[in-house]
Amino acid sequence: MHQYRIQGGYPIQGTIQASGNKNAALPCIAAALLTDEPVTLKNIPHIEDVQVMLEVYQSLGGTVQTLSTNAYRMSLGNIKTSAIPEEYAHKIRASILFAGPLLARTGKAILPPPGGDVIGRRRLDTHFLALTELGASVASNGAFTFSAPTLQGADIFLDEASVTATENALMAAVLARGETILTNAASEPHVQDLCRMLVSMGARIQGIGSNILTIQGVAKLAGCEFTIGTDFMEVGSFIGLAAVTRGELYIQGPVVQDLRPTKIAFSKLGITWEHEGTTVHVPEKQALTVNCDLGGMIPKIDDAPWPGFPPDLTSIITVVATQVTGTVLVHEKMFESRMFFVDKLIGMGARIVLCDPHRAVISGPTTLSGSELHSPDVRAGMAMVIAAMCAQGNSIIHNVYQIERGYEQLVARLSSLGGRIHRGS
């Protein structure tokens, strides 16, 4: 199993290109299943999760042509099976995104329980609610079997603003008969990207960017060429890394408006950045001091559905807070196991009180010491990389497969910025 060896204490310096949005790439790959015409996807990050999704697509009978490191042409005339192979489903939670397209194209989808990050319970109920409202029946016997000879548009109120459930409902509804209204829909930038891709294929969707989506079903979708947006979660990770290593970083390509919730949260820690066009500049000199709420109260950073602070950045900002003067409360509302990685930070010297599975109080700054760590999920793994790069001494991070599921060519890119990081066995 591969590991990272990191020598901490070196500021990152230079320019880096933002990668394509992982959370947009995965549903867009699934959406290619909705047409029998070729689909070309560009700006796709070269990461493990993408490769697994492409393998699922091929297992269903599709062909994938690699045009470049970050571009693919996909084609699937006749779907040969409606069953997702168990070996792929267990690797990646996003495998469930094939349920909606398979239902729309074949009237059936068989999906083993999906895998993915170990960050607590991740409900599938909202997927079932949406697809059953559209006319599907669901049976569970080791695998989930969805059946729907005909999908019919419906007025659906989602019981939570689930990103993947919204995406599944969208992909089923675009080929359903009649009108579908999705209320309490997720509206993250990656959901918007999926909507825009579907529209370029001939789908009729109104309300993109809001939590109410209206879909008029069509009989057939065409192929398309679509470029996904950049990954604001990756950009937030690099901003945090630059700040805590006291480096100066230019990030090319971010969609600046996607960073607004992140900027509010980072500003509470005395971290800011500038932008010119689509280039974000993280200055070398940052205040790195907690900005208290009115009356000198301890500020809180909490995640929320879009346009709130992204849940995937709570791990990152927790590490950043250990290097900032003052005290802050981080409240991760969505997953009950995501904050458990902080015991590793405490072992490195961080002053953190884990109040319960969702809340941590961090007091800084503290000098972190190099340590041997194990990555439990994508974002906590990246948080450990950031901690190791600002720590004194050497660190080893195991299970880096989890990190590489979401961060493209991480070792090479950080090395190009002056990071002392090596990948080995």
Which of 174, 201, 227 marks a domain boundary?
Answer: 227
Give the Cβ contact number of residue 365 at 10 Å: 17
For residue range 180-214, list pLDDT tens digits in order.
Answer: 999 999 999 999 999 999 999 999 999 999 999 99
Residue 209: exposure state from Cβ atoms within 10 A (0-12, 13-18, ≥19): middle
- Residue 175 shares a structural domain with residue 270: no
Q: Is the dihedral of CA 57, 62, 63, 66 positive or negative?
A: negative
Cis peptide before 365 (omega within 30 of 0): yes
Instruction: Enter the tokens of residue 2.
Output: 């591969």
CB 265 within 8 A of CB 239: no
Closest CA to 147 of 139, 156, 155: 139
**CATH code for the domain of 201:** 3.65.10.10
Query: What one-character-per-residue DSSP string does 308-375 give?
Result: SB-GGGHHHHHHHHTTSBEEEEEE--S-TTGGGGHHHHHHTT-EEEEEETTEEEEEE----B--EEE-
- Residue 241 shares a structural domain with residue 199: no
- Residue 247 shares a structural domain with residue 177: no
| Average pLDDT taken over every residue of the chain | 94
For residue range 235-264, list pLDDT tens digits in order.
Answer: 999 999 999 999 999 999 999 999 999 999
Which of 177, 200, 227 marks a domain boundary?
Answer: 227
Percent of the chain at pLDDT above 70? Answer: 98
Name the CA dihedral angle for 266, 272, 274, 280, rounded to a multiple of 10 degrees.
-50
Order across the sheet with 155-157: list the strands: 155-157, 179-183, 212-216, 204-206
Q: Please say if 125 is a catalytic residue.
A: no
Residue 336 above 90 pLDDT? no
- Active-site residue (options: 36, 49, 117, 302): 117
- Residue 73 shares a structural domain with residue 176: yes
- Residue 282 shares a structural domain with residue 134: no
- Residue 247 shares a structural domain with residue 317: yes
| pTM recorded for the entire structure | 0.93
What is the pLDDT at residue 149?
Answer: 87
What is the pLDDT at residue 118?
Answer: 42
- Residue 176 shares a structural domain with residue 300: no
Q: Is 193 strand, coil or helix?
A: helix
Residue 113 above 90 pLDDT? no
Domain total in the chain: 2
CA 28 – CA 38 distance, rounded (Å): 13
Which of 196, 212, 227 marks a domain boundary?
Answer: 227
What is the pLDDT at residue 115?
Answer: 63
Taking the CA atoms of the chain, what radius of gyration do you get in angstroms? 22
Q: What is the mean pLDDT of residues 334-347?
A: 86
CB 10 within 8 A of CB 418: yes
Q: What is the mean pLDDT of residues 362-376?
A: 95
- Residue 252 shares a structural domain with residue 293: yes
Which domain covers residue 193, as residue numbers?
Answer: 22-227
- Residue 160 shares a structural domain with residue 235: no
- Residue 65 shares a structural domain with residue 106: yes
What is the pLDDT at residue 133?
Answer: 96
Residue 121 above 70 pLDDT? no
CB 337 within 8 A of CB 289: no
What is the pLDDT at residue 123?
Answer: 67
- Residue 188 shares a structural domain with residue 236: no
Query: In which band, very low, low, confident or very high, does the pLDDT at 85 lie, cut at 50, 70 and 90?
Result: confident
- Residue 238 shares a structural domain with residue 368: yes
CB 93 within 8 A of CB 25: no
